[in-house]
Amino acid sequence: MDSTNDHKRTRRQYRDDLKFLVELGNSEYLLYETDMLDHQHNLIKTYLWVASIIFTAQTSFYLSIIKDDFKLLTTFTPMKIDSISTPYYLLLILSLYCAVCVFLFAVDTLRGRNTLEVPYKNFETEMVNAYDDAFENDSFELYQKLLTQLETSINQRSTLANCNGLKLRKMSQLLLTSAVTGLFSIAFLLLPIIKISLSSLIILITFGPTIIGFSIYFIIKDN
């Protein structure tokens, strides 16, 4: 008699443990599905818009220079290799390249590649399993199946979240590099306008690439 009661208690405890694990698994699944992945997607969309703004601002600024809206053609000659144009073009190309890379990364990440498993696939089947469990004392198929499905879904979303995290770090580095080089490119054109001395201009042209390199290094290092 005691053995039978112990067996029933053990079975009941096992069922309660399975139920508890399903609740924990469902909470973790929702954490990835509704919190983490949504937050990552919002960040990616923000990076997408910032990259678009940087690209648009840089190209608009260049077109304004070509039209001589800022009266720069006395010191800046488009498509000519000189002390003003060359650094500007190099920095402009790097800035636009990084912005385009961020844009492509963001679009590719948002569109997705693989189909994610849903933990609760067929409620009709689960209903049958629940019915069987109610009339078969030794059957725990419902909870066991739900746990298996939850584990698959959680693992998929965990892998996806880690992949998105790596892409976000890359995008942040590229975005900061694009912004920094874009500002430096504009600075090279504004120096003659504010009538900076020739010696200061030479120093900036000489040490400008080093400053940019250190800036990019510390940006990447911090991320």
Residue with the larger pLDDT of the pair 72 and 187 = 187
d(CA 164, CA 48): 14
| DSSP symbols for 43-99 | HHHHHHHHHHHHHHHHHHHHHHHHTTTT--TTT--TT--STTHHHHHHHHHHHHHHH
Supply 163's token pair.
């992949």
Residue of 181, 183, 208 whose CA lies nearest to 83: 208
> Which secondary structure element, helix H or strand E, spans residue 132, and what is its range?
helix 123-135
> What's residue 103's pLDDT?
92
How far is the first Cα of the chain from the last one, in angstroms, to the nearest whole number? 65
- Whether the per-residue pLDDT at 100 is higher than 90: the answer is yes
Find where tokens 């725990």 sit: 140
- The total of other beta-carbon atoms located within 10 Å of residue 182's CB is 22
Structural domains in the chain (count): 1
The mean pLDDT of 26-51, rounded to a whole number, is: 84
Instruction: Of 54-58, 67-71, 72-76, give the lowest mean pLDDT range.
Output: 72-76
pLDDT in tens, 23-35: 887 878 777 777 7
Instruction: Of 64-68, 161-165, 201-205, give the lowest mean pLDDT range.
Output: 201-205
164 HSE (CA, 13 A, CB side): 25
The mean pLDDT of 139-147, rounded to a whole number, is: 73
pTM here is 0.65
Supply 61's token pair.
């600024």
% of residues, the chain, pLDDT over 90: 9
Mean pLDDT estimate for the chain: 73
d(CA 31, CA 29): 5
Find where tokens 């009538």 sit: 195
* Cβ atoms of residues 51 and 99 within 8 Å: yes
Residue with the larger pLDDT of the pair 91 and 87 = 91
d(CA 36, CA 49): 20
Residue 211: which domain range? Answer: 2-222
> What's residue 30's pLDDT?
78
> What's residue 118's pLDDT?
59
CA torsion 118→124→128→133, rounded to 10°?
40
d(CA 43, CA 74): 42
Instruction: pLDDT band for 132, please (50, 70, 90 cuts).
Output: low
> What's residue 198's pLDDT?
46
Task: Give rounded-to-5 percent helix, strand, coil for the chain.
Answer: 80, 0, 20
The mean pLDDT of 139-151, rounded to a whole number, is: 75
Supply 192's token pair.
């003659």
Instruction: pLDDT band for 116, please (50, 70, 90 cuts).
Output: low
